[in-house]
């Protein structure tokens, strides 16, 4: 069915209203640039920046760096999930064991993962994998903590309900505990994917990298290519935003009851 | 301590309160349970009638739910025996309806899969499960879209699903822990009627905890009045008014006098 002009106008209006904040910030940026309120060598034209972003995405090599960073982030995230989910379930299922690990967990959770770079460099060498390993380490702590917490705080009534039906332990675990824990697990996964991206970007900036978005941002800064730098920052932001969006929609699909 | 590994325990002698053709379905003898250094039950004896509705009522903290949960095996006890017509708990099928349907149903399963779940645990095939759910739903004339998830249903519908889930295995005994307490008044009346209907058509033994004396007497064939802890039976009051019971029942002389008597016993217990 064709959209009538009035409907189209209404749609456009609500779209503008919905993004009023974004448009406002862009406008302020443009005015600040236009009136040269901030040193123009540090603060480029927003529209030129967006143009650079589009140009680098479709014509330049930004997409390759984007791909490298995405690959490292997802690799680290996958390692973190595979290690931390089972561990979280096992340790979360036993409160005494969890308590005995509580200090260590809280300690490493409070330690910035980036402080561990030198250690990981020593252990894994200066190649790509040490970056992925640090990010996986940081991500796995977040996933582990959330999964264990989810297991510990599962609704006892549902477990009792299954027990009274005569369900054996493995069934209670697969049919009840797994789903009980799923909402908290997803929160852990979503937080972890954001965190692994942060760690990967920092690693690409400072830990001898020749590619990736972190390297690209630092490179642009060194040669004072501000448009490229801002464009790369925005592209990295889009990656983080996109990953979060994907996880939110997965969460909505798999945890439909929350 | 429970005797494990024996199908049959010697059938204990009935308590004196059982008369006529009434027989005991559940027999509790010398039940002792301590919690946090306090005696919850000491040498507690009880017979629950077969094919009757027993409502448990008593002062706050007297362990109404604890008694229900101990008999149904949800929580352990220290010593004594609980037998179901001579059989241990693991040899009988029971159904249990929890107080809060929101915490008891599986929200990740559709209503129909919730009802079927106990059969799935027993290893019944999918087609047979579906058939039995259809039969059950038809026999109680229940009009709920079973393809919805619990959170898409009203509170009353959800509690009804919980009740069906407890009944699908055709249990020997149905335990209900304050099944109306999370429902509004209108829904409570509806579920009460449904429960009566279920009871009349199946003749299942029901044991229900209630915190509302009127409701307890209305639903019960026998009201079990408990004392403050350490819990003993204050009195067992029979109310054999014909079913289905209606709002007229509430106005009958028999109901009023039974309720008044229960209230007297209860108040004497609370003041003690």
pLDDT, one tens digit per residue, over B192-228 is 998 999 899 889 999 999 999 999 999 999 999 999 8
CB B101 within 8 A of CB B155: yes
Please tell me the distance in Å from B164's CA to the nearest CA on chain A: 13
Nearest by CB to residue B121, choosing from A160, A171, A256, is A171
Q: Smallest Cα–Cα separation from B72: which of B50, B88, B55?
A: B88
HSE of B3 in the Cβ direction (CA atoms, 13 Å)? 13
- In this prediction, residue A61 has a pLDDT band, given cuts at 50, 70 and 90, of confident
pTM of the full predicted structure? 0.81
Which band of pLDDT confidence, cut at 50, 70 and 90, is reported for residue B16? low
> In Å, how far from its chain's centre is CA B42?
22
To 10 degrees, the CA torsion angle through B219, B205, A165, B81? Answer: 110
Res. B6 pLDDT band, cuts 50 70 90: very low
Which pLDDT score, from 0 to 100, does residue B12 have?
Answer: 60
Selected for mutation to probe chain A from B111, B114, B117, B172 (highest A CB count within 10 Å) is B117
Q: How far is B269 from chain A (nearest CA, A)?
A: 31
Cβ <8 Å between A161 and B98 = yes
CB A62 within 8 A of CB A232: yes
Mind listing the pLDDT tens digit for each residue in A87-140?
A: 998 898 888 888 898 898 889 888 898 898 889 988 988 788 999 999 999 999
**Model ipTM value:** 0.84
Looking at per-residue pLDDT, the higher value among A125 and A181 belongs to A181
pLDDT at A250 over 50: yes
């Amino acid at each position: 069915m064709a959209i009538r002009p009035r409907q189209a106008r209404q749609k456009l209006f609500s779209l503008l209203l919905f993004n009023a904040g974004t448009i406002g910030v862009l406008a302020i940026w443009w005015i600040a640039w236009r009136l040269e309120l901030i040193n123009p060598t540090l603060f480029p034209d927003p529209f030129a920046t967006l143009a650079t972003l589009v140009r680098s995405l479709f014509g330049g090599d930004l997409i390759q760096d984007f791909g490298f960073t995405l690959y490292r982030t997802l690799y680290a995230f996958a390692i973190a999930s595979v290690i931390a989910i089972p561990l979280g379930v096992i340790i979360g299922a036993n409160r005494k064991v969890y308590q005995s690990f509580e200090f260590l967990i809280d300690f490493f959770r409070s330690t910035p993962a980036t402080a561990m770079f030198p250690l990981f460099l020593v252990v894994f060498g200066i190649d790509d994998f040490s970056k992925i390993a640090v990010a996986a380490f940081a991500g796995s702590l977040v996933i582990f903590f959330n999964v264990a917490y989810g297991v510990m705080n599962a609704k006892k009534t549902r477990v009792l309900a299954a027990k009274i039906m005569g369900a054996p332990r493995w069934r209670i675990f697969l049919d009840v505990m797994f789903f009980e824990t799923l909402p908290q697990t997803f929160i852990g996964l979503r937080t972890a994917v954001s965190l692994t991206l942060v760690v990967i970007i920092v690693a690409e900036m400072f830990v001898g990298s020749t590619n990736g978005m972190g390297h690209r941002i630092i490179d642009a800064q060194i040669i004072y290519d501000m448009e490229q730098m801002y464009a790369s920052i925005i592209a990295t932001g889009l990656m983080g935003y996109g990953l979060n969006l994907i996880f939110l929609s997965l969460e909505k699909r798999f945890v439909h009851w929350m | 301590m429970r005797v494990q590994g024996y199908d049959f325990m010697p059938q204990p002698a009935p308590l004196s309160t059982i008369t006529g053709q009434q027989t005991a379905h559940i027999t509790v003898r010398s039940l002792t349970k301590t919690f946090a250094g306090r005696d919850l039950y000491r040498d507690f004896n009880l017979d629950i009638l077969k094919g009757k509705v027993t409502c448990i009522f008593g002062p706050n903290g007297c362990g109404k739910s604890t008694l229900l949960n101990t008999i149904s095996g949800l929580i352990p006890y220290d010593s004594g025996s609980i037998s179901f017509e001579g059989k241990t708990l693991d040899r009988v099928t029971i159904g249990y309806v929890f107080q809060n349907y929101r915490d008891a149903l599986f929200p990740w399963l559709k209503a129909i899969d919730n009802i079927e779940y106990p059969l799935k645990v027993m290893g019944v095939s999918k087609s047979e499960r579906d058939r039995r759910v259809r039969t059950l739903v038809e026999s109680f004339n229940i009009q709920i879209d079973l393809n919805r998830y619990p959170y898409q249903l009203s509170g009353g519908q959800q509690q009804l699903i919980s009740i069906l889930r407890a009944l699908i295995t055709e249990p020997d005994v149905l335990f209900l822990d304050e099944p109306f307490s999370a429902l509004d008044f209108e829904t409570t009346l509806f579920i009460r009627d449904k429960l009566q209907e279920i009871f009349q058509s199946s003749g299942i033994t029901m044991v229900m905890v209630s915190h509302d004396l009127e409701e307890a007497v209305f639903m019960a064939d026998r009201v079990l009045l408990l004392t403050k802890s350490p819990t003993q039976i204050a009195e067992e009051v029979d109310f054999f008014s014909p079913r289905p019971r209606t709002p007229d029942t509430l106005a009958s002389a028999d109901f009023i006098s039974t309720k008044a008597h229960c209230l007297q016993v209860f108040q004497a217990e609370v003041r003690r």
